[in-house]
Structures are given as structure tokens and as C-alpha cells.
Amino acid sequence: MSENSIIEVGDLKAYYKTRHGDVKAVDDIGFFVKSNEIFGICGESGCGKSTLIKVLYGLIEPPLKVLSGHVSIDINDKKIFLKYNNDVNNIKKLWWNEMSYIPQSSMNLLNPTAKIEDQFIEILRKVDKRTTRGEAKKIVQKSFDALGLPREVLSSYPHQLSGGMRQRVVISMATILNPKIVYADEPTTALDVVVQRGILEMMRELQRKSNNTFVIVTHDMGIQYQISDRVMVMYAGKICEIGKTDKIFQTSTHPYTKLLIESLPRLGDKSERRSIKGAPPNLLAPPKGCRFHIRCPYATQECIEEEPPLVEILHEHYVACFHPLG
Amino acid sequence: MGDTKLWGINSLRAFVKYLVRRIVLYVIALWAGLTICFFLPRLVPIDPVTVILSRVTATGAFIDPETYANMRKTLLYLFGLEGSIQEQYFNFLSKAIVGDFGVSITVYPSKVNDLIAKALPWTIGLLATMALISWVIGNIVGLLAGYYKNKIMAKAVQIFAIAVYPIPYYVLAIIFVFVFCYLLRIFPLFGSKGVGFKVSFSLDFISSVIFHSFLPALTLFIVNLGWWILSMRALTINLSEEDYVKFAEMRGTEKKIILNKYIFRNALLPQITQLTMAISTIFSGAVLTEFIFSYPGLGQLLWMAVSSSDIYLLMGITSLSIISVTTSALIVDLVYPLLDPRVRYEERHV
Amino acid sequence: MFSPSGVASEVMSMNYPLLETINLTKVFKMGGIFKGSSFRAVDNVNLKMEFNEPIILSIVGESGCGKTTLARLLLNVIQPTSGIIKFEGKEITKMKKKSEILEFKRKVQPIFQNPFESFNPLNTVSRYLYASALKLQIAKDKEEAKEIVNEALISVGLNPEVLDRKPHEFSGGELQRISIVRALIPKPKLLITDEPVSMLDASIRMSVINLFLKLKKESNTYFIYITHDLATAYYISDFVAIMFRGSIVEYGFAHDVLSDPLHPYTEMLLNSTPDISKKWTGRVILSGLELKEFESLGCKFWRRCPYASDKCKLTRPEMIEPKSNRMVACFRYQ
Amino acid sequence: MKNMKRSVINLRNFFLVLKSDVRLLIGVSILIVFIILGFILCHFSPYDPKRWGQVPRDVPPCWSYPLGTTSLGQDLFWLLTFALQNSLVLGITVAAVSTFTGVTLGLLAGYRGGYLDEITTFLSDVFIAIPSFPILVMLAALFLGRIHILMLALVLCLFNWPWPAKQVRSMMLSLRERVFIETAIFSGFGTIEIIFREIIPLISPWIFANFINTVLVAIGAEAGLATIGVSSLEEITLGTMIFWALRYQAMFMGHWWWIAVPVVTIIVLFIALFLIYLSISEIFSIGGFKK
């Protein structure tokens, strides 16, 4: 694995226990995230990407269950090694001080009966109970100024803010304590394009300024292309491909990534785009071998029988495919 | 920010509209209630004047026709039965508004207001205290039972609330009478003041009042408590699923803060609305409870009126109930917007 | 494509545009405690779809721009506050006779954004498919209805067995296809589709979009494609109308509008789209004043517009035609 | 979505739900026992329970008189079956009439809008604001304890239609905006079909829950009136049983069973009804309940 990795995950299996059986949302995967980068995780709905970062953040509530896996988090040169079955609660100690989580944008993430400044003060007091109102306010004002958010937001109630402004407030909440890792799960879904761009740019700026790590999950390939440094593509609970964003979008090597990117319409290009035939498999009973083989035009007998391992085919470019495309 | 005020004015205008609508509703409900009060007795063939006069003649005293006619006239005046039905109606309404409900038949010539004035403090004292105490305690218990819904204690509380809430006030009152007054003989059965006590501020008097009003208070408390626990628990469970509570939990926020600032504060407003809707039920429950415990409030008075067909007393009590229930609901509804920041603060949209 | 009634109406209405709106406006009143305030969801919209050869017209805008309200107005499920909607020359809000309304439903059909909300969760999908054949008088009897429905299902690659299933037993993609099949049963002239692919996964999105293109070519169906996604709009449409805060600000051929935008808002939209062919450059200005934009006296975009002048604040720009086949509501081109 | 999937009431589902929810199972079982007692068993009564002196007075519960007898010489067991019948008939009548009226008005107001809507909304607001109990007491008192039970039912209906009307109206308003209604419209269904086949099935759990709640409210109101002696005292209901027991000082004469029978029955019946109401509300996630 890489030298400057901040998160290293191995053997991770997280299933949803349901009446019909186990939904194998994340099935035996391992990867690493480098420090000081924006790491994107993408894939279609139900590929396990949201489950994955929930598990990474330690939000494990029934019916979700982690069967195996370990993660080591390297914060300020202190390595924290955790086994999921035993030490989940140790992750929670890092919450918000060392790592934070931006949930899917919703109109409803802020307490409707408290002013924005009070919600910030509450967070700052979590670190130091003696923080006075005045001190806390100063810290928040400074960070608002830096992000270009109007100060009058602080004395407002959430219902007085627009959806985009609320999500910007949420992001500044997630970064006010300067955590080393910020997870974001579809942070701009349901927002308008212009607002979406503004928020993504704000996140990128925050990351560049404080040199921390952002892990962004989104199904929108366009967003990944615009802001992530490296991208991981998931399919049916497995990793297909990890690599530098530009590389992935220019010359993807996994057939799924390639077909997916080819199917996306682009502005200024009317040439025919085709969907990938078929549909993603049911994760209650995923197919044997490569999980994409049913929809893959390049599949061979080997793909049906055996599961391709994730291998580094180029420097820092990982692919799980027996027949990677040139 | 030239036109940020636009929204402010808009919502202020909307708020005024809400107030006006609410007050109009109040006036009409009041008027409709009082009108029913006025017309119902007139649909039933009992003539109060004849009832009183026959009571006088029944004593055997001789009354000459002229005196008899005079008495009749006076009684008609006192009972507001002079003139056409319209005149009587407007007369009744104008008097009811200032709280004048005429003269009682049973304890003639006591004025109905005086009788009510004597009973009312007892009822209000009992009802308001108990409604408030059970609201506060029920909300706290319900909050905890909802947030820790999987704990055994919480389940026990839930079973208690489900078992207690559907019991009507008077049935619980009967059970308490049976257990405490008959089986255990701890509490007296009649009246809130021991015989011979006069209203005063002595310690004896106060302790006696508390002693005598304990069981009616307990009845009101327990039934109301069940209701507030159930509705607060349901609210808490719903609110715990809200995105902002989940987000606070994700931040590792202390449970104490989540319970207080995130759930309790947000549950309070709907609980206040519930209180408005419950006022009428609590009131009638209190009246019935008082009756069972012979507590000298409106309940006792109502029973007296019912058992002696004292129409004017009955009309007085009914009108007063309507006035007080609708008014208290109005007050809560008017206070409510002041507590809700979504109404208190104009839309700003920054 | 042979339907006697279709031929008759085509001949009759050759002089009219297929669809036309004149100063179409819808004002919503806010409920609850804020009763009394109101906003213009659709503000003076003029659209025209000529009856020459089938086209796909995209209406592009962000959430809250009134595009869904516009769709519902065109479908005659809500009534306009003012203005006129004409379909084949007839005012649709004035249709009273049952036969007229039936005729309208046979010619205009909707497809909605969320397939799971398009069907009552309690019923099997067959209920709606058969009804579309029988109640709209496409089939004479149950036998014929069955034939039509089966044929339609097979044509979009679905097995007729799916008829007995309830909505939650489908995947999003399958169910959206069912909802397209249902809309196709009466062989409509015009399909009004409101974000039909935004709930679908990227890998299957294009199959639905390509189906629309096929229908346009093979069945002479006209489309109104309502979306926030510029890339699919570019891919699918012949004409594009850009909608902002209830008004249409720019209109023209899809290629022209989306490669050479005239209105500053269109420009901003294009620059903000996370397209995979071009990385973003520069930064965007965000305002938090979205709702107030509905209330502006002048141009609704002036607060965010880099070119705004005092005139823009006070006067509402009219639609003008600075180039042939291009319409824009902006003072810069006067 | 998830909730709506479950909100189909048909017999098979009903039994499935019954099995999965203990509270519903308890509630329904108790109710069935009471219905059997009140509607079937009462026909086997060996004597007219209204008549006095049919059996020895003041006998505590024993083999021949399982619930004991009253000071008036009535067998409490058979008295109870008749009381249950009358109380349940009253409750069900009031619930049926007021739920039907309320739901119909609410549906019409919500679907048609306009003046009908304004009037319905305003009337229901006014009726909800007027406290019903004092007026009931006054009315019943004027009849000197001989009010006809139907008259009482009628007045109870008057105060119980506004709530369902108001609720159904607001549900109707939100359902009317749902997309699947538009699918139904464009599939060629008419208004009546849409109301009956698309909308009513979705609100039927609420209607049923409200019905159960109204049964409870109506029986409770009658019993409350009876307790202070203003119901129709010649009829046998759960309330009048309490009244006569109190009137004859049953508690203080040591005839505890006389008062215990109606009191315990009311409590058990109400808890059963409430359990049904509560579990239906929760299964179909209907927010909020009222007394």
C-alpha cells in the first residue's frame, strides 16, 4: 500500500441482515485513501458505496452488520488500528474532532428551533466545555468569512435559509474543528446545478487550504470528474477499478467503467450513446465469478468461474478484471 | 438588502390573517355554543315560573290573585322570560357576555353567578394545577420512554400508559373511592373542606384542602398522565428519526443535549397544540371526577342542577363551560405562534 | 401507425400548431400559517410546437423554476391562473364534453419522474395498462386489450408476465418502462415527460432516452422533455427552452442554445454542469436569495448577473429575436 | 412507500398483521368475547334482566350467579350481556354514522374544493371548538333521565363527525396531488372510480382507526352521562349499571361486585378498543391520536 495513506481498509465485509437473507452490500474489499486528496467513490445505486463510507465512519446500526474487516487510520502520525467486530466504539471517539461526515443534502439537517450560531457553539463546546459564547462566535465568524458565507446567517433559524445555504452551513459544521478526514455521502444531490457547483468548489477549497482528506461518495460521474483526485468505481459490492481521475476518464481499463463512461451523454456531442445491457445483480444472491460477467461483452469462461482479484496494473492503478482493456 | 422586508411584511400580514381567523372562529364558536344553550331548554316543555309558583302554593299559604300575578311578573323578569323570543335571546346573550346567568330555581333567589363563583375556584384550582403538572411530568416521562424505547423501564411505562389512558375519569374515580375510602379508609369521601372549616389562610385550612382534594387530583393526574406519556412518546420516536437528530448523533453529540435541545424542544410545540385540543376533555373529566368525590366544585353544582332540574343553573354552568373552554383554547392558540421561531421570525432567505 | 381518428384530426388541424401557450401564468397561494402570500410558479410563458414533423422540445431549468407546474398545466390537471393553452387549436381548459376530454387523453400522455410514485402501490400495474387500452377506447374488448398490452410490453423488451406484479416488485428501470408502455398504448401524438430518467441509474438511463428517439422517428410522436440535465437535453432534443424562476429566458435549436448561449443564465447553467468533457474554470457566485428572485420587478436574474444594469433591476425584459430562430429575454441583445 | 405497501386491508393480510402484532391480537380477542356476550349469549337469558326480583338479592358471585346479583334482584351476568349489547350498539351506531358523514364530507370537500370546502372546514372547526360534554349534560338533564337512546346517539354524532371530516379532507388534499392520481386520470378512470379505487383504499386504515376510537368515545360519553344520572336510565347500558350501583350505595353496603362488574367491563373493553386503535395507527403509521 501507499506510503502516505491515511486510511487503509482490508477484508471488509458488511451485510444487511434481512428476512430474505444477507444483502451483500460490501463484500470483502480492501483499499487505501491517501492523505491530502479528494477520494471519490462512485457506482450505481445499490453498489455498496454508501454502505462503505457509513462503515468507515463507524455508523453501523442494524440491520447493517460488519462481518469482518479492519481499518487503520493514521492521524498525526499516530496509527490507530481497529478491528470492526470489536473496536467499533473506538471509531466514535474520533467523531467530529478527527473525522466528520456530511450526509446527503436534505432540507432538514439543522435543528429547526435553534439559531445557526447556537448549533455551532454546541459543536465547539464538545471539544472544550469552557468555550464562552463570545469566543465561539468569533471562531465561527472567522470561518464563515473565510468561506464567503454572510455573517447574518449565524443569527438566523434554518427555515430562513435556502437549501443551498443550509448545505453550506452543514459543510462548515463538518470542517469547523479541522478534522483530518471528511466523509461526504452524496453531498449535493437534490441541489440545483449552480448551487451544486458552488458547494463542490467550496469543498475543494477547504481541502486545499487545510490539507486534509475528503472522501466523497456520489453516483454522478460528472461530479467525480470535476473534483476528485482519485476515483474508486464499485459494482455490486465489489471494487472494479481505482485510479487517478483523469486516467480513469481517459482510458479506463475495466469494461464496466469503460461502458459506463461511454454511456454518458456529453455537451456538444450528439453521437449515439448506449446503455449497458441488463441490470445490476441482486445482492441477496450475487453471481459467482466476476459480478459483472453477465453484462460484460468481454466475458470468458474464466470470468464466470473465478473472481478476479484487484491488482495494480500500472502505478497506482488497480483493476479487478481478467481482461483489462488497454 | 432593500427588499428583505417584503417577506417580513408578507408573513406578518399572514400572521395577522391567522389571528383574525382564529378570533372569528372563537367568536362564532362561542356564539353557537351559547345559542344552543339558550334554545335547548326552550324546546323542552318545562316552565320554571310555574315550577316555583307551585312550590310556593304547595306550602299551603294563601296568595291573592293580584300578588300571584305580581310574583309571576317578577319571576318572568328574573328569569328573562319577558317579551318575544328574540328579545329574550338578545337579553340572554348580552347578559351572558358579562357573566350574568339569572337566578337559580332550587336555591331561589340565589343568583346563578354567586353559586358558580363559589364553586369555580375549587374547580379551576384543581383542574389547572393537575392539567399542568401531568402535562409537564407526562412530557418528561414520555420523552425518556420514547428515546430509550427498548429499555425495560420504557416498556413498562408504555404498558402503564396504554392501560391507564383509555379509562374514563369517572371510572378511575370510582376505583379510587373504592380502594382508598372504602377498603383502606385513608381518605374522606365528602367535600374538600372538613366540616366547620371556614375559608382562611391558616395552615389547617390548607392542609385540609390538600387532604380532601388529593384523590380527585390523583384521578385527573393519572388519566392525563397516560395521555401525555403516549403522545410524547410517539412524538419522540418520530423525531428521533428526523435527519437533524440523526445528524446530531453522527457528530457524537451528548445524549443529554440531543434529548433536550433536539427532541424535547421540537416536541413541545405539537404538545402545546395537543393541550388546546385536550382542554375540553380535561374539563368534562374534571367535572365528572368532582361529582364522584363530592368535591365542592362545578361538578357538584352541576349534579345539584341536574337532580333538581334547575334549568338556569344548568344554563349558567353550561354557558360558563363553553366560555372558559373556548377562551382557554384561544389563549393557547394565540400564544403558540410566539413560541415557534418559524412564525416569530420573518422569512429571510440568505 | 394507422388510426382513423388520428388521420381526421391531423387533416383538421393542419393550420394550427400542435401545442401553443399564450401568456400562461400560474400563481400559487401559500397555505398554513402563512396563508395569504403567493408566488408565480409559471409566469407569462409562451410556447409553440409546430405541426410539421415530430420534434423533441426540452424545457430545461433548475428545481423550483416551475417546469413541473408547466407540465401539469399542459396536461390540464391544474388550472392556469391566466393565459391560454391550445392543443390542436382547441383551448384545453375549455373542454367540457366527455368525448373531447377522452380525445385529449388519447393524444396527450404523461411520463413522470419517479416510477414508484406513478402507480398506486396497492394495485397491480395491469390495472393501469388495461384501463389505458379499454377506457381510452383503443381496444374494443378485453381480448383486444390484452393483445395490445402484450404487444406494447414486448416492444420495449418486457415479458408480459410482469402484468400481475405490484409496483414495489419492480426495479426502477423496469417500472419506468412500464409507465412508458402505459403512455404509449393510446398511441399519443404528444408525450409530456417530466424528468423521466433522473431517478434511473446511469448505466440504463440511455436505453430510455434512445427509446424516446426511436418513438419520435418510428411513431411520429412529439415530445416535451422536461429536465435539469443539460447533457441529455443536448443529446435528445431538437429545440430547447431555458426556464428560470417561472419564465422562459431563452429558446432555440438545441445545438445553438447549448453551444452558444445568449442569456447569462444559460451561460451560468452550462458552466456549472458537471460535464465529463470539460473541467470547470473560474468560480461561481452563489446567492442565497433564490426565493426573492420570483418577486423581482425587473429581470429575475439581475442579482446574479454579471452584466446587470439599473434597467435590469426595474424593467422586465421581453422575449426578442436577435438572430433567426433564437429567442432571448435579455436587454443585452436589443 | 414502505408503509403504503402494507396498508392493504384484506382478510389474508389482516390475519397476518394480527399474528405479527400482539396488541392487536389481544384487543381483537377481547372484543370478540364481548361481542359474543352481548349479541349471542344475551338471547339465552333465562329471565328479563330489566325486571326486578327475578333472583335473590345481594348474592355475591357464586356458581349459580357467576357475577352475583343486585339489590334489586337482577342477575349481574345476564344484566351485563344486555348492557354490553346496548352500549356496543350505541357506540357502533354513533361511530358508523359520524365516520360515514365525516368521511363523505371530507372527501367531497377535499376533492371539489370551493364553497363546499370552506363551509365544511368552518363548521367542523366550530364544532371542534365547542365543548360537547356540558351541552350533552344539559340536553340529557332536560329529559330528566328519560332521553331516548337514539336521541342521545344523534347528538353524539353531531359532535363526532367534524374530526374525521377535517382529517379526511386534509388527507384528500395531499393525495389529490400525488402523481399516481394523474396516471389514473390519463389511464381513463373517472372521478368516482379514482376516489373509490385509488384514494379510499389508502385512507381506509385511518377510517377504521377513527371508527374504533369513536366507538370508545361514544360508549364513554354515555357512561359518563349515566354516572351523573342523566342518560336514558331505563335502558340497561354499562353506564346505567354504574348509576344504579352508585344510587343503591353498592360500594358502602359491601356489595362490591355490583359496581365492580360494569367498572371492570368498561376498563377491559376500552383498553381492548384502544389497543386495536393504537396498533392499527402504528402499523399504518398514522400520526397522532386523540381522545
The CA–CA distances, whole Å, from B2 to A149, A263, C296 equal: 19, 48, 12
- Give pLDDT, residue A172: 92
Residue A67 domain-assigned (yes or no):
yes
Nine-digit cell at C251?
A: 429558446
Phi, psi dihedrals of residue C29, rounded to the nearest 5°: -100, 140
* DSSP-assigned letter for residue D196: I
- Mean pLDDT value of segment D241-267: 87
The lowest-confidence range among A130-139, B213-222, C35-44 is: C35-44
Task: Give the closest-approach CA distance of B337 to chain D in angstroms.
Answer: 19
A134 and A168: one domain? Answer: yes
Q: Say if C27 is an interface residue toward chain B (CB within 8 Å).
A: no
A173 and A193: one domain? Answer: no
Phi, psi dihedrals of residue D285, rounded to the nearest 5°: 40, 60
Residue A210 domain-assigned (yes or no):
yes
CB pairs under 8 A between A and B: 77
Chains that touch A (3 or more CB pairs under 8 A): B, C
Q: Say if C168 is an interface residue toward chain D (CB within 8 Å).
A: yes
Do residues C175 and C153 make contact, with C-beta atoms less than 8 angstroms apart? no
Q: Say if D2 is an interface residue toward chain B (CB within 8 Å).
A: no
Residues in chain B with CB shorter than 8 Å from the CB of D270 are: 166-168
Sole residue written with cell 459490492: A237
Q: How confident is the model at residue A215 (pLDDT cuts 50, 70, 90)?
A: very high
Q: How confident is the model at residue C324 (pLDDT cuts 50, 70, 90)?
A: confident
- Mean pLDDT value of segment B303-310: 79
Nine-digit cell at C246?
A: 417561472
Q: Say if C7 is an interface residue toward chain B (CB within 8 Å).
A: no
A202 and A152: one domain? Answer: no
At residue B178, does pLDDT exceed 50?
yes
Residues 296-335 of B with CB under 8 A from D: 302-303, 305-307, 309, 311, 314-315, 317-318, 321-322, 325-326, 329
Most distant CA atoms of chain B, gap in Å: 91
A169 and A244: one domain? Answer: no
Give kind and range of the element (H or E) at residue D24. helix D22-39
Q: What would be the CATH architecture of the domain defined by C9-289?
A: 3-Layer(aba) Sandwich (3.40)
> Structural domain boundaries of chain D?
37-42+58-287
pLDDT in tens, A276-296: 888 888 888 999 999 999 999
In chain A, the number of structural domains is 2
Give kind and range of the element (H or E) at residue C111. strand C108-111
The range of the structural domain enclosing residue A48 comes to 5-98+181-277+310-319
Task: Give the closest-approach CA distance of B326 to chain A in angstroms.
Answer: 29
A118 and A75: one domain? Answer: no
How far is Cα A266 from Cα C273, in angstroms, rounded to an integer?
Answer: 10
Partner-chain contact D187 C114, CB within 8 Å? no
- Give pLDDT, residue B243: 92
Cα angle for residues D56, D62, D67 (degrees, 5° grid): 80
Chains that touch D (3 or more CB pairs under 8 A): B, C
Cα angle for residues A300, A304, A307 (degrees, 5° grid): 110
| Touch between D and A (at least 3 CB pairs under 8 Å) | no
Sole residue written with cell 401531568: B134
Residues in chain D with CB shorter than 8 Å from the CB of B188 are: none
List of domains in chain B: 112-310 (1.10.3720.10)
Average pLDDT of chain C to the nearest whole number: 86
A132 and A257: one domain? Answer: no
A185 and A116: one domain? Answer: no
> Structural domain boundaries of chain C?
9-289
A54 and A146: one domain? Answer: no
- Give pLDDT, residue D7: 42
Residues making up chain C, counted from first to last: 334
Amino acid at site B316: G
Partner-chain contact C36 B13, CB within 8 Å? yes
A157 and A80: one domain? Answer: no
Nine-digit cell at C71?
A: 407540465
A169 and A186: one domain? Answer: no
- Mean pLDDT value of segment D66-82: 86
Average pLDDT of chain D to the nearest whole number: 84
- Mean pLDDT value of segment A245-255: 92
Task: Give the closest-approach CA distance of A238 to chain C in angstroms.
Answer: 17
At residue B199, does pLDDT exceed 60?
no
Average pLDDT of chain B to the nearest whole number: 80
At residue C4, does pLDDT exceed 60?
no
How far is Cα B89 from Cα B97, in angstroms, rounded to an integer?
Answer: 12
A92 and A227: one domain? Answer: yes
At residue A230, does pLDDT exceed 50?
yes
Residues in chain B with CB shorter than 8 Å from the CB of A95 are: 250-252
How far is Cα A57 from Cα A48, in angstroms, rounded to an integer?
Answer: 14
pLDDT in tens, C180-217: 999 999 999 999 999 999 888 888 889 899 999 999 99
CA atoms within 13 A on the CB side of D40: 6
At residue C33, does pLDDT exceed 70?
no
Q: What would be the CATH architecture of the domain defined by D37-42+58-287?
A: Orthogonal Bundle (1.10)
CATH number, domain of A232, equals 3.40.50.300
- Give pLDDT, residue D12: 56
Residues in chain A with CB shorter than 8 Å from the CB of C63 are: 190, 192
Q: Is the ipTM of this complex over 0.90?
A: no
Q: Say if B349 is an interface residue toward chain C (CB within 8 Å).
A: yes
| D163 against C10, higher pLDDT | D163
Do residues C267 and C261 make contact, with C-beta atoms less than 8 angstroms apart? yes
How far is Cα C40 from Cα A213, in angstroms, rounded to an integer?
Answer: 43
Nearest to B14 among C33, C289, C290 (CB): C33
Partner-chain contact D137 B322, CB within 8 Å? no
Nearest to B163 among D144, D263, D271 (CB): D271
A202 and A240: one domain? Answer: yes
Residues 258-277 of B with CB under 8 A from A: 261-262, 265-266, 269
